[in-house]
């Protein structure tokens, strides 16, 4: 915990930041452990402002530390598990923190492959009593009702239930909803913050639609009856978009698409369902609506430009945001949690070379204290510069990308790592990225392209990636490499493609579809066989929603079978010319490890150079510190052998 400082109007918070931003003349090489540490994440303050909780690594596993606001230097109350992974948390009462846990387990086998499933649980931590109680079900909390000291409201299987978080037993049914598969049923409930049901969203799947389409109905609770007030169409990636009630309580705010344009914010009138557009950006999607953690009301929105931007509807909230931005110029900063009185606020600060840091701001006393910091042992003066690197794809489509340069080296004839992001429904920006910054400290330039199919730039750009795995999406990545070579930044003989999940697929596709471009390939949890990924849904009982999601992006197993085979690296192993490193977590249920196992077999059969590192005990998301450290060390070793100075 940092010292308490007087921050009149938050002015000296910038000074605090400057203390660890000052550039050293020659910073030592930061060790991989400084990057691999599990970061502090998402601190949350309790409703009464007495406690705050932080998700952080504890003995190399995700855990939670709970502090007293008035005595932050005292030893915290710690929560972790040797079996479960902490997946989230939220305050339910002023002294009750709900903790969500997950783990992947082997339940059997099919087709000579282990059958893995993710199971979940929820625990209530009673802070004053310093004990834990097991909740009877993993529930989606809809309302914490601070008028009641014991009860929360949650959805299970489409219906609304109440539960006593201090003495949990069987959840009590409050109101029945529609039950179906995936979104086919009651998808959402909206309450008023005091346990009163206001509205719900029902959805019905359109039969035989691919990609699957849903029709959503917003229903208002009116004098004990349900009244339809609005209808929306959606698909696997375009749900109804409703985030919550407006601040005045007389409407609903939702993120909506207008044809192929960027996502906008619309207000749905609670009386007659009429829609009014509140905000739209011509270049960037609205990434999300900001919701008050205690009332569930939609209070603002966020855009992801080169750095995330946060805006609020209420002048008081917007004034706070402007004050934070003034205190931390040039960085991404916003309030992530506050007490009910809005007197105590936790602010998150982050930048290209600044790992996420968190400050507790007292708006009454104008004091601020540093309460959490990701990568605390990392010397940020040793990190690389990050800059936008836009270019045009071969068909003229503008591609946004980011280039991280190794510190202390001119941007000329550098070994280059191109790192396509995962998803592919995601995007990169200029906030701190621990993997690419690690590579920059090792002397590599890192290119992170937002190829077509990435989110954030409108649906036309997003949907341009549908059924383009290994085709135009891959061309976008290759074109970025060629641009860096043409600009003299990259040494054409020292380029490696590195990625995870979809990025792992793109790395393997680069090895097989553009073999002359790369000197080495690293794939973490990558996909080698696209048809098999589609079949994985059916064989192992994944949801219809997930299956349709993959089919929408990749293709149909039957009508697109020839294209899927022609873009599956497993069947193109004979084309590989560069050494390949495969890494995969053994308990991955998102991309099963046999994707890498089969890729290794194909490469060995073709007589290619391949190394395979199995990572025990972890899932798809690098949840354990030991996995992150192994990933960095193996990456460093492999790159040094093939494109290092």
Tell me the mean pLDDT in the region 131-136: 85
Q: CA-CA distance, 509 to 631, in Å (whole number)?
A: 20
The predicted structure's pLDDT at residue 539: 56
| Nearest of 24, 55, 53 to residue 38 by alpha carbon | 55
CB atoms within 10 A of CB 83: 9
Q: In what order do the strands lie in the sheet with 61-68?
A: 41-45, 51-58, 61-68, 77-79
Query: What digits encode the pLDDT tens for the residues 100-125?
Result: 999 988 876 656 566 788 888 889 99
Tell me the mean pLDDT in the region 318-323: 94
Q: Is residue 475 a part of any domain in this protein? A: yes
What size, in residues, is the chain?
645
- 368 and 438 share a domain? no
The predicted structure's pLDDT at residue 550: 80
The string of DSSP letters for 409-430 reads S-SSSEEEEE---SSSS----S
- 499 and 630 share a domain? yes
Cα→Cα distances 396→27, 391, 476, 479, Å: 41, 9, 10, 11
Higher pLDDT, 281 or 510: 510
Cα→Cα distances 483→196, 375, 421, 489, 626, Å: 57, 33, 18, 9, 36
Residue owning tokens 């990434």: 287
Q: CA-CA distance, 470 to 581, in Å (whole number)?
A: 19
Q: Which of 379, 403, 434 is the last residue of a domain?
A: 379
Question: Containing H/E element for 122?
Answer: strand 113-126
Q: CA-CA distance, 604 to 574, in Å (whole number)?
A: 10
Strand partners, 80: none
User: What residues contact residue 25 under an 8 Å CB cut-off, 6+ apart?
Assistant: none
- 427 and 347 share a domain? no
| Nearest of 98, 144, 142, 143 to residue 121 by alpha carbon | 98
Instruction: Say how far residue 165 (Cα) sits from the centre of its chain.
Output: 28
The predicted structure's pLDDT at residue 125: 94
Q: Which of 379, 414, 435 is the last residue of a domain?
A: 379
The predicted structure's pLDDT at residue 167: 83
Query: What digits encode the pLDDT tens for the residues 440-467?
Result: 999 999 999 999 999 999 888 999 999 9
* pLDDT tops 60 at residue 538: no
Assign 215 to helix, strand or coil. strand
- 25 and 42 share a domain? yes
Query: What digits encode the pLDDT tens for the residues 351-367?
Result: 999 999 999 999 998 88
Q: Is residue 493 a part of any domain in this protein? A: yes
Residue 542 belongs to domain spanning: 384-642
| Nearest of 267, 261, 266, 268 to residue 285 by alpha carbon | 261
Q: Is residue 601 a part of any domain in this protein? A: yes
Q: What is the pTM of this model?
A: 0.93
- DSSP 8-state assignment for residue 206: P
The predicted structure's pLDDT at residue 214: 76
Strand partners, 174: none
* pLDDT tops 80 at residue 279: yes
Angle at 372 between CA 368 and CA 375, to 5 degrees: 135
Residue owning tokens 């009673």: 126
The predicted structure's pLDDT at residue 18: 40
Q: Are 15 and 3 in contact (CB under 8 A)?
A: no
Q: Are 68 and 50 in contact (CB under 8 A)?
A: yes
* Calculated CA dihedral for residues 27, 28, 29, 31, nearest 10 degrees: -120
Lowest mean pLDDT among 260-269, 368-377, 483-492, 495-504: 260-269
Tell me the mean pLDDT in the region 217-234: 90
* pLDDT tops 50 at residue 22: no
* pLDDT tops 80 at residue 335: yes
* pLDDT tops 50 at residue 542: no
* pLDDT tops 70 at residue 636: yes
Q: Are 61 and 78 in contact (CB under 8 A)?
A: no
The predicted structure's pLDDT at residue 644: 93
The predicted structure's pLDDT at residue 8: 39
Q: Is residue 532 a part of any domain in this protein? A: yes
Higher pLDDT, 174 or 180: 174
Q: Are 55 and 86 in contact (CB under 8 A)?
A: yes
Alpha helix segments (H runs only) across 355-419: none
Q: Is residue 346 a part of any domain in this protein? A: yes
| Nearest of 289, 564, 520 to residue 416 by alpha carbon | 520
- 595 and 521 share a domain? yes
- Average pLDDT over all residues of the chain: 89
- 326 and 390 share a domain? no
| Nearest of 345, 333, 354, 356 to residue 40 by alpha carbon | 356
Strand partners, 62: 57
The predicted structure's pLDDT at residue 558: 85
The predicted structure's pLDDT at residue 541: 44
- 424 and 323 share a domain? no
* pLDDT tops 80 at residue 248: yes
Percent of the chain with pLDDT over 70: 90
Q: pLDDT band at residue 370, thresholds of 50, 70 and 90?
A: very high
The predicted structure's pLDDT at residue 605: 98
Lowest mean pLDDT among 152-166, 259-273, 298-312, 580-594: 259-273
The predicted structure's pLDDT at residue 118: 85
Q: pLDDT band at residue 212, thresholds of 50, 70 and 90?
A: low
- 439 and 539 share a domain? yes
| Nearest of 615, 598, 620, 611 to residue 639 by alpha carbon | 611
Q: Is residue 175 a part of any domain in this protein? A: no
| Nearest of 354, 409, 379, 440 to residue 30 by alpha carbon | 379
Tell me the mean pLDDT in the region 571-578: 98
| Nearest of 311, 304, 249 to residue 278 by alpha carbon | 311
Q: Is residue 20 a part of any domain in this protein? A: yes
Structure tokens at 120: 């979940």
Strands 490-500 and 414-418: parallel
The predicted structure's pLDDT at residue 6: 38
- 96 and 127 share a domain? yes
Q: Are 579 and 642 in contact (CB under 8 A)?
A: yes
- 484 and 499 share a domain? yes
Q: pLDDT band at residue 258, thresholds of 50, 70 and 90?
A: low
Indicate the number of domains in the chain.
2
The predicted structure's pLDDT at residue 263: 85
Query: Tell me, what CATH number does 555's domain have?
Result: 3.40.50.1820
- 499 and 593 share a domain? yes
Per-residue H/E/C for 312-353: ECCHHHHHHHHHHHHHCCCCEEEEEEECCCCCEEEEEEEECC
Q: Which of 379, 399, 417 is the last residue of a domain?
A: 379
The predicted structure's pLDDT at residue 204: 83
The predicted structure's pLDDT at residue 427: 96
**Rounded to the nearest 10 degrees, what angle do helices 530-539 and 544-554 cross at?**
170
- 10 and 115 share a domain? yes
Task: Count Cβ atoms within 10 A of the Cβ of residue 108 and give its class: 0-12 exposed, 13-18 middle, 19 or more buried.
Answer: exposed
Q: Is residue 176 a part of any domain in this protein? A: no
| Nearest of 145, 191, 154 to residue 173 by alpha carbon | 154
| Nearest of 504, 466, 511 to residue 591 by alpha carbon | 504
Q: CA-CA distance, 399 to 408, in Å (whole number)?
A: 27
Query: What digits encode the pLDDT tens for the residues 545-571?
Result: 445 678 888 998 888 999 999 999 999
Backbone angles phi, psi at 537, to 5 degrees: -60, -45
Assign 33 to helix, strand or coil. helix
Percent of the chain with pLDDT over 90: 72
């Amino acid at each position: 915990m940092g010292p308490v400082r007087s921050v009149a109007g938050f002015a000296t918070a910038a000074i605090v930041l400057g203390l660890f931003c000052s550039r050293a003349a020659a910073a030592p090489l930061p060790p991989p452990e400084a990057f691999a540490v599990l970061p502090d994440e998402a601190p949350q303050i309790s409703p009464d402002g007495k406690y705050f909780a932080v998700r952080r690594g504890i003995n190399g596993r995700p855990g939670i530390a709970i502090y007293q606001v008035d005595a932050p230097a005292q030893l915290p109350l710690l929560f972790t598990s040797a079996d479960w992974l902490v997946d989230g948390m939220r305050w339910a009462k002023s002294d009750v923190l709900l903790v969500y846990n997950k783990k992947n387990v082997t339940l059997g086998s099919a087709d000579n492959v282990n059958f893995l499933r993710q199971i979940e649980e929820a625990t209530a931590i009673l802070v004053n009593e310093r004990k834990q109680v097991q909740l009877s079900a993993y529930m989606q909390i809809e309302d914490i009702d601070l008028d009641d000291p014991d009860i929360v409201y949650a959805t299970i299987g489409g219906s609304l239930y109440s539960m006593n978080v201090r003495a949990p037993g069987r959840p009590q049914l409050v109101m029945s909803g529609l039950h179906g598969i995936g979104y086919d049923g009651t998808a959402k409930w909206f309450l008023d913050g005091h346990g009163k049901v206001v509205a719900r969203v029902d959805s019905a799947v359109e039969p035989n639609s691919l990609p699957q389409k849903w029709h959503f109905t917003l229903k208002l609770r009116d004098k004990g009856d349900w009244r339809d007030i609005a209808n929306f169409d959606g698909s696997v990636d375009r749900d109804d978009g409703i985030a919550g009630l407006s601040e005045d309580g007389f409407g609903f705010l939702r993120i909506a698409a207008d044809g192929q344009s960027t996502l906008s914010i619309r207000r749905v009138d609670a009386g007659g369902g009429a829609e009014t557009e509140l905000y739209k950006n011509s270049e960037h999607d609205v990434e999300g609506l900001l919701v008050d953690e205690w009332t569930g009301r939609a209070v603002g929105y966020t855009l992801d430009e080169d750095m995330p931007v946060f805006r609020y509807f209420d002048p008081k909230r917007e004034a706070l945001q402007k004050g934070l931005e003034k205190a931390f110029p040039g960085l991404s900063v916003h309030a992530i949690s506050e007490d009910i009185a809005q007197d105590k606020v936790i602010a998150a600060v982050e930048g290209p070379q600044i790992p996420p840091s968190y400050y507790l701001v007292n708006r009454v006393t104008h004091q601020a204290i540093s309460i959490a910091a990701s990568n605390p042992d990392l010397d940020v003066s040793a990190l690389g510069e990050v800059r936008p690197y836009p270019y045009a794809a071969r068909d003229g489509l503008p591609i946004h990308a980011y280039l991280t340069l190794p510190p202390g080296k001119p941007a000329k004839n550098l070994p280059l790592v191109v790192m396509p992001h995962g998803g592919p429904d995601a995007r990169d920006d200029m906030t701190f990225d621990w993997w690419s910054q690690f590579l920059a400290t090792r002397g590599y330039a890192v290119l992170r392209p937002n190829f077509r199919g990435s989110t954030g730039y409108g649906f036309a750009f997003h949907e341009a990636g549908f059924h383009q795995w290994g085709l135009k999406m891959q061309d976008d990545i290759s074109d970025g490499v060629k641009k860096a070579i043409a600009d003299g930044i990259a040494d054409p003989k020292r380029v490696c493609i590195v990625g995870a999940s979809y990025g792992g697929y793109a790395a393997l596709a680069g090895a097989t579809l553009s073999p002359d471009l790369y000197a080495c390939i690293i794939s973490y949890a990558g996909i080698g066989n696209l048809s098999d990924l589609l079949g994985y849904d059916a064989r192992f009982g994944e949801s219809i929603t997930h299956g349709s999601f993959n089919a929408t992006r990749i293709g149909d197993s039957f009508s697109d079978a020839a294209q899927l085979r022609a873009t599956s690296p497993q069947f193109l192993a004979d084309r590989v010319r560069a050494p390949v490193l495969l890494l995969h977590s053994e308990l991955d249920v998102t991309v099963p490890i046999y994707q890498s196992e089969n890729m290794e077999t194909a490469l060995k059969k073709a007589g290619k150079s391949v190394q395979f590192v199995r990572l025990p005990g972890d899932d798809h998301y690098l949840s354990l510190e030991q996995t992150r450290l192994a990933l960095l060390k193996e990456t460093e070793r492999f790159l040094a052998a093939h494109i290092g100075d």
